[in-house]
C-alpha cells in the first residue's frame, strides 16, 4: 500500500512551472495552486490580465489533489437547514451556485480539452438509519419543489439496483452530480493557465507581504514580486502572513483509501449504480469507483488537524473497518493507496468569498469544494478583471472562530460531540 494520493500517482504532472527567481510586476497575484487559485488565474489570464500564481509546494498539493473525487451538487448543509440559517433567497442562491459549479467544470473540461473522465454520475445521499431516511425525505420534498427537480427519492428496495449493501435505508438521488479524475483535472488546469499566459511559481510559499497603499509586495524564499491585487486561495492550508483567514478557517483531516481495481463481478455486487455515494452520519463516509474500477472510499475517520504518513495510516485502518461494515464482501480486499488531506471548515459550514484584510479571497468550502472552488475561482477572477460581480456569498458576514488562532485544539471535543450525536440520533 502506498501512502500517496491515487489522483497524483495516476495523473501526468504539470511541468510548466516558472524556473528562476520569483520577480516582476503583475496586475494580480494568486496565492495557492488548488482549484480556486488555478481557476481564478485561468480566468484572469484569459481576460488579458497579467497574473502570477504562487504555490507553496506543487499544484494540487492541498485538498484539490487529495479529495474523494465527488462533484456533488448540494451544500454541506441540507437545503432545509440552509434555509433556516440563511433565509430562502440566500439558500436558493447558494444551492444553485453548487449546480452551476458542476456545469462550470463540465464547460472548462470541454474548453481546455482536459482528459479527466468527467461523468454526470448522479449522487446518492444514503440514509444510515431509518430516522435519517425520514429527514432525507423531508429535505427531498423541499429540494424537488423549490430548487432541483432533477432529484428522486429511493426506498430501501430501490437501492438494490444501486448499491450492494444492506447498511442503508433509502436515499436521495441528485442526478446533476458528477465525478472526475481530480489529478488529471488539477494538472490540466495548470497547463491551461500557462497556455493562456499566466505564470505559475511552485515551491514558492508566500512568507511576507507589504503594501505601499496602491499594491502589494509578496515575498517567497525564491524572491519577491509586486501586484496591484492579491487573491488568497489557500483554504485549509493557509500558512504565512494571513492570520485573519487562519482564525476563520478550521483545518480538519479527512482520509481516503483506494482499493485494487475490482473485477466486474465485485463491481456488480457492490456498486452496480456507479454513482457518487455519501452516508448520512456526521462522522460518515463517501465513496465512488475510479476510472480504473477501484473503490475510492473516504471519511473523516478521526478528528485530527494533521495529515501525515502516521496519521493517514492510522485513519486508513479505521476506514478499512467502515468499508468492511458497508461492503462485507470487500473486507479482505487489497488497499493500493491511502492518503489524507485537510478540509477547510468554517464555524457555520458555509463557504465565504469576497474582500477582507486588503485581499480578495475564496475559501471555507467545508468539505464540499471540489466543484464550488473552481466555480468561485472563476467568479472572483471575473471580479478582479473588472467583469462584474456574480459572487453568491457577497455580503455574508464572517466572524473569527473564538479561541482559534490556527491550530484547532478543540477538534477532539468536536469529534466526541458528533460521535455521540451519531449514536443517539
Ligand X SMILES: Cc1cc2nc3c(=O)[nH]c(=O)nc-3n(C[C@H](O)[C@H](O)[C@H](O)COP(=O)(O)OP(=O)(O)OC[C@H]3O[C@@H](n4cnc5c(N)ncnc54)[C@H](O)[C@@H]3O)c2cc1C
Of the two residues 164 and 344, which places its CB atom closer to ligand X in the complex? 344
Contacts of 70 (CB under 8 A, 6+ apart): 123, 177, 179, 276, 278, 286, 288, 370
Tell which one of 104, 238, 279, 315 touches ligand X (CB under 6 A): 238
CB of residue 98 to ligand X, shortest distance in Å: 9
Q: Which of 206, 225, 330, 359 binds ligand X (CB under 6 A)?
A: 206
User: With binding defined as CB under 6 A, does residue 67 bind ligand X?
Assistant: yes
Does 28 interact with ligand X (rule: CB under 6 A)? no
Does 305 interact with ligand X (rule: CB under 6 A)? no
Contact (Cβ atoms closer than 8 angstroms) between residue 237 and residue 342: yes
Q: How many residues does the chain have?
A: 425
Told to check if 61 binds ligand X by CB under 6 A, we report yes
Residues between 81 and 120 with contacts to ligand X, criterion CB under 6 A:
none
- 3-class DSSP state of 350: coil
Check binding of 279 to ligand X (CB under 6 A): no
37 vs 284, beta carbon nearer ligand X: 37
> Among 70, 169, 187, 349, which residue interacts with ligand X (rule: CB under 6 A)?
70
Task: Tell me the closest approach of the beta carbon of residue 34 to ligand X, in angstroms.
Answer: 2
C-alpha closest to that of 70 among 42, 102, 94: 102
User: Of 340 and 415, which CB lies nearer to ligand X in the complex structure?
Assistant: 340
Count of residues near ligand X by CB under 6 A:
47
* CB nearer ligand X, residue 65 or residue 273: 65
Is the CB of residue 22 less than 8 Å from the CB of residue 206?
no
Report the C-alpha gap between 331 and 94 in whole angstroms.
39
Of 161 and 287, CB closest to ligand X: 287
Q: Indicate whether 32 belongs to the interface with ligand X (CB under 6 A).
A: yes
Helix (H) or strand (E) holding 172: strand 171-174
Residue 270 or 307 with smaller CB distance to ligand X: 307
Distance from C-alpha of 289 to C-alpha of 273, rounded to nearest angstrom: 10
Nearer to ligand X, 164 or 364 (CB): 364
Beta strand pairing status for 25-31 and 223-232?
A: parallel
Helix (H, G, I), strand (E, B) or coil at 250: strand
- DSSP of 66-111: TS--EE--S-SS-HHHHHHHH-HHHHHHHHHHHHHHHHHHHHHHHH
Asked if 140 interacts with ligand X (CB under 6 A), we say no
The residue among 154 and 180 lying less far from ligand X, judged by its C-beta, is 180
- Is residue 343 close enough to count as binding ligand X by CB under 6 A? yes
Please check whether residue 218 is in contact with residue 67, taking contact to mean a CB–CB distance below 8 angstroms.
Answer: no
Cα torsion 256, 340, 108, 386: sign: positive
Among residues 206 and 330, whose Cβ is nearest to ligand X?
206
Cα 75 to Cα 351: distance, rounded to the nearest angstrom: 9
The Cα–Cα gap between 41 and 239 comes to 20
| Contact (Cβ atoms closer than 8 angstroms) between residue 52 and residue 26 | yes
Nearest to 36 by CA among 245, 296, 210: 245
Pick between residue 49 and residue 236 the one whose CB is nearest to ligand X.
236
Contact status: 17 vs ligand X (CB under 6 A)? no
Among 41, 54, 159, 192, binds ligand X (CB under 6 A): 54
Q: Is 302 in the site for ligand X (CB under 6 A)?
A: no
If binding is defined by CB under 6 A, does position 370 make contact with ligand X? Answer: yes
Are 40 and 314 within 8 A, CB to CB? no
Q: What spatial distance separates the first Cα and last Cα of the chain, rounded to whole Å?
A: 36
Candidates 17, 74, 198, 341; binder of ligand X (CB under 6 A) is 341
What is the closest distance, in whole angstroms, from the C-beta atom of residue 209 to ligand X in the complex? 9
Q: Contacting ligand X (CB under 6 A), which of 11, 36, 112, 273?
A: 36
Residue 95 vs 365, nearer CB to ligand X: 365
List the interface residues with ligand X, window 372-411 (CB under 6 A).
373
Q: How buried is 370 (Cβ within 10 angstroms: 0-12 exposed, 13-18 middle, 19+ buried)? A: buried
Single out the residue of 256, 271, 301, 411 in contact with ligand X (rule: CB under 6 A): 256
225: contact with ligand X by CB under 6 A: no
Q: Does the footprint of ligand X cover residue 368 (CB under 6 A)?
A: yes
- Residues 270 and 211: their CA atoms lie apart, in Å, by 56
Which of 8, 66, 187, 300 forms a contact with ligand X (CB under 6 A)?
66
The position carrying cell 509578496 is 218
Q: Does 205 bind ligand X (CB under 6 A)?
A: yes
Contact residues: ligand X, CB under 6 A: 31-37, 54-57, 61-64, 66-70, 72, 205-206, 233-240, 254, 256, 286, 298, 340-343, 363, 365, 367-371, 373
Amino acid at each position: 500500500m502506498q501512502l500517496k494520493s491515487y489522483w497524483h500517482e495516476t495523473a501526468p504532472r504539470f511541468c510548466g512551472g516558472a524556473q528562476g527567481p520569483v520577480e516582476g510586476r503583475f496586475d494580480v497575484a494568486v496565492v495557492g495552486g488548488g482549484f480556486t487559485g488555478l481557476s481564478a488565474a485561468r480566468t484572469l489570464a484569459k481576460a488579458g490580465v497579467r497574473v502570477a500564481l504562487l504555490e507553496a509546494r506543487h499544484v494540487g498539493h492541498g485538498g484539490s489533489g487529495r479529495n474523494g473525487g465527488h462533484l456533488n451538487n448540494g451544500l454541506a448543509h441540507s437545503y432545509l437547514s440552509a434555509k433556516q440559517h440563511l433565509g430562502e433567497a440566500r439558500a436558493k442562491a447558494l444551492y444553485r451556485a453548487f449546480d452551476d459549479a458542476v456545469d462550470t467544470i463540465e464547460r472548462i473540461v470541454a474548453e481546455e480539452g482536459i482528459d479527466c473522465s468527467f461523468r454526470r454520475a448522479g449522487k446518492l445521499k444514503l440514509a444510515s438509519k431509518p430516522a435519517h431516511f425520514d429527514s432525507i425525505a423531508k429535505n427531498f420534498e423541499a429540494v424537488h419543489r423549490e430548487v432541483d427537480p432533477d432529484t428522486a427519492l429511493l426506498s430501501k428496495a430501490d437501492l438494490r439496483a444501486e448499491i450492494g449493501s444492506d447498511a442503508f435505508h433509502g436515499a436521495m438521488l441528485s442526478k446533476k452530480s458528477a465525478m472526475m479524475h481530480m489529478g488529471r483535472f488539477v494538472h490540466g488546469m495548470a497547463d491551461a493557465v500557462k497556455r493562456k499566459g499566466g505564470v505559475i511559481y511552485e515551491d514558492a510559499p508566500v512568507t511576507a507581504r507589504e503594501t505601499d497603499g496602491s499594491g502589494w509586495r509578496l515575498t517567497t524564499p525564491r524572491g519577491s514580486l509586486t501586484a496591484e491585487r492579491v487573491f488568497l486561495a489557500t483554504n485549509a492550508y493557509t500558512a504565512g502572513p494571513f492570520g485573519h483567514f487562519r482564525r476563520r478557517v478550521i483545518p480538519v483531516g479527512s482520509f481516503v483509501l483506494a482499493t485494487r481495481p475490482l473485477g466486474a463481478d465485485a463491481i456488480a455486487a457492490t456498486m452496480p449504480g456507479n454513482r457518487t455515494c455519501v452516508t448520512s452520519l456526521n462522522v460518515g463516509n463517501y465513496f465512488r469507483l475510479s476510472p480504473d474500477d477501484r473503490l475510492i472510499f473516504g471519511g473523516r475517520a478521526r478528528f485530527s488537524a494533521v495529515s501525515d504518513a502516521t496519521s493517514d495510516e492510522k485513519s486508513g485502518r479505521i476506514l478499512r473497518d467502515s468499508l468492511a461494515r458497508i461492503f462485507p464482501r470487500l473486507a479482505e480486499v487489497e488497499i493500493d493507496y491511502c492518503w489524507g488531506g485537510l478540509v477547510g471548515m468554517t464555524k457555520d459550514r458555509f463557504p465565504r468569498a469576497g474582500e477582507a484584510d486588503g485581499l480578495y479571497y475564496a475559501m471555507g468550502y467545508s468539505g464540499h469544494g471540489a466543484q464550488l472552488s473552481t466555480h468561485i475561482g472563476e467568479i472572483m477572477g471575473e471580479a478582479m478583471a473588472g467583469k462584474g460581480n456574480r459572487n453568491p456569498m457577497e455580503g455574508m458576514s464572517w466572524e473569527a472562530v473564538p479561541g482559534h488562532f490556527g491550530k484547532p485544539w478543540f477538534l477532539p471535543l468536536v469529534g466526541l460531540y458528533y460521535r455521540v450525536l451519531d449514536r443517539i440520533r
